[in-house]
């Protein structure tokens, strides 16, 4: 099969979708909104890629794991669906790859992402829908999804509060030098100078917010109560004047936001435009001694450049929960770099968030299996068109 280019005309896209329907006449139909769906009465295969939880699966609220199957098995089987759940997702011989060829719907999370590449989409002729249980669908090759007529959806809004709270936690953590203070106690030490000589108050510090979507706005709202010394933000779409006034923020271009802030916090999706956004040059344009927080996507920050900036002290601290590959390998340099407050990708995966994105996943599945469109802001790729934030 010939690979398609990232930019694909409407006529060619419809032709390709038609060919895929002809190849699978009993499995695929086109619904009223143009999306490819399974025929009623046929048994659909749903593949979920989730992490293993082991002993922690005993908490019934922790449903986003292989053991608890996102709470979907009984619900899906009642709807005549075959349901396969696995944590094994990487490599040609993985359970995910072996099952994908005849899968109709794949479900994954941003926390244990199933990397759905162009090559895998090409090899999965039945695949019609990719659902992100959570927010952020960059683990799917969205241009390939557009080319091949694959619908991509996510549960918009499901973990915005959870992620915003984590961002504030990360900001306070590095500004107050909490990681160093905590590690010395675990190691049996008691060194007041080590902990406090580079710890600061957040009050009166200038905050730079890169991205003013739902999460970015919640972060601004929460930081306002700390009496910070002003907040500047950048987004491709400026907020209304009344929203800026209520949040106490000022719009500025990206370079100004980064160059003037004591703390920069990042809240943009990963796309071709934002990959490597914080490279060597941009990190060096930050104030010496500034802090950087990233709870968006790891690949927005250059892996090597941030290590260098921390090592020579230009950046005072880096915190977040997102990595450029997940799970992060044991030898990933961010595990051992200076002055960091990194965790696994957990910000949007609280028990409360899991309940919200489980319900959103059910809503998407219910609409899809009933040949109905779901709510507009859940679509990331729809009829070959990417959502604005990924263009």
Model confidence pLDDT, tens digit, residues 313-338: 999 999 999 999 999 999 999 999 99
pTM (predicted TM-score): 0.85
Per cent of the chain over pLDDT 70 is 90
**pLDDT for res 304:** 98
Full set of structural domains in the chain with CATH: 10-158+350-386 (3.40.50.720), 160-342 (3.40.50.720)
Residue 29 banded pLDDT, cuts 50, 70, 90: very low
- Euclidean distance between CA atoms 352 and 349, whole angstroms: 8
Residue 126 pLDDT class (50, 70, 90 cuts):
very high
The answer, yes or no, to whether residue 43 has pLDDT greater than 50, is yes
Q: Residue 388: which pLDDT band, with cuts at 50, 70 and 90? A: confident
CA distance 340 to 311: 11
Mean of pLDDT values over 207-225:
97
Rounded average pLDDT over 130-149 = 95
Query: What's the confidence (pLDDT) of residue 389?
Result: 81
214 exposure class (CB count in 10 Å sphere: 0-12, 13-18, 19+): middle
The half-sphere exposure of 307 on its side-chain side, counting CA atoms within 13 A, is 9
User: What's the confidence (pLDDT) of residue 42?
Assistant: 81
* Radius of gyration, CA atoms only, the chain: 22
Quote the pLDDT of residue 30: 37
Query: What local confidence, expressed as pLDDT, does residue 225 receive?
Result: 95
pLDDT at residue 3 in the model: 35
User: Is residue 19 predicted with pLDDT exceeding 60?
Assistant: no
pLDDT digits (tens, 9 = 90+) for 96-121: 999 999 999 999 999 999 999 999 99
In a 10 Å sphere around its CB, with 0-12 CB exposed, 13-18 middle and 19+ buried, how is residue 129 labelled? buried
At 361 the three-state DSSP class reads: helix
Least confident of 39-53, 152-166, 239-253: 39-53
Q: For the sheet with 315-320, list strands across it.
A: 249-251, 231-234, 207-210, 263-266, 290-294, 315-320, 340-342
pLDDT at 202 over 60: yes
- Tell me the two tokens of residue 260: 């003037």
Q: What is the mean pLDDT of the chain?
A: 90
What local confidence, expressed as pLDDT, does residue 12 receive?
45
Across 53-70, average pLDDT? 97
Which residues participate in catalysis according to the annotation? 159, 297, 326, 345
Task: Give residue 41's pLDDT.
Answer: 52
Per-residue pLDDT tens for 272-327? 999 999 999 999 999 999 999 999 999 999 999 999 999 999 999 999 999 999 99
């Amino acid at each position: 099969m010939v690979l398609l280019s990232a930019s694909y005309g409407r006529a060619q896209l419809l032709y390709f979708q038609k060919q895929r329907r002809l190849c699978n006449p009993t499995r695929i139909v086109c619904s009223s909104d143009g999306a490819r769906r399974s025929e009623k009465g046929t048994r659909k295969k749903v593949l979920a890629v989730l992490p293993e939880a082991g002993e922690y699966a005993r908490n019934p609220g922790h449903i986003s794991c292989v053991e608890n199957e996102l709470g979907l098995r009984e619900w899906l089987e009642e709807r005549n669906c075959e349901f396969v759940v696995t944590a094994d997702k990487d490599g040609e011989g993985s359970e995910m790859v072996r099952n994908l060829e005849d899968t109709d719907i794949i479900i994954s999370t941003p926390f244990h992402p199933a990397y759905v590449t162009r090559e895998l989409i090409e090899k999965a002729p039945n695949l019609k829908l990719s659902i992100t249980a959570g927010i952020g669908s960059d683990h799917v090759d969205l241009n390939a999804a557009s080319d091949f007529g694959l619908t991509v959806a996510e549960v918009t809004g499901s973990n915005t509060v959870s992620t915003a709270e984590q961002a504030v936690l990360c900001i306070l953590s590095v500004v107050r030098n909490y990681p160093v203070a905590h590690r010395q106690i675990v190691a049996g030490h008691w060194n007041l100078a080590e902990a406090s000589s580079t710890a600061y108050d957040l009050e009166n510090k200038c905050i730079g917010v890169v991205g003013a979507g739902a999460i970015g706005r919640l972060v601004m709202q929460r930081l306002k109560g700390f009496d910070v010394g002003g907040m500047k933000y950048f987004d491709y779409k400026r907020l209304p004047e009344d929203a800026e006034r209520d949040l106490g923020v000022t719009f500025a271009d990206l370079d100004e936001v980064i160059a003037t802030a004591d703390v920069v916090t990042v809240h943009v999706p990963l796309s071709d435009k934002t990959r490597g956004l914080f490279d060597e040059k941009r990190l060096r344009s930050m104030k010496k001694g500034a802090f950087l927080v990233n709870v968006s996507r790891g690949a927005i920050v250059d892996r090597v450049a941030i290590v260098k900036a921390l090592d020579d002290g230009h950046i005072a601290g880096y915190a977040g929960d997102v990595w450029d590959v997940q799970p992060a390998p044991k030898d990933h340099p961010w595990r051992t770099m200076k002055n960091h407050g990194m965790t696994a990708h957990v910000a949007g995966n609280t028990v409360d968030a899991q309940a919200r994105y489980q319900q959103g996943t059910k809503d998407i599945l219910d609409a899809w299996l009933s040949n109905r469109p779901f709510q507009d802001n859940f679509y990331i790729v729809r009829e070959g068109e990417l959502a604005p934030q990924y263009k």
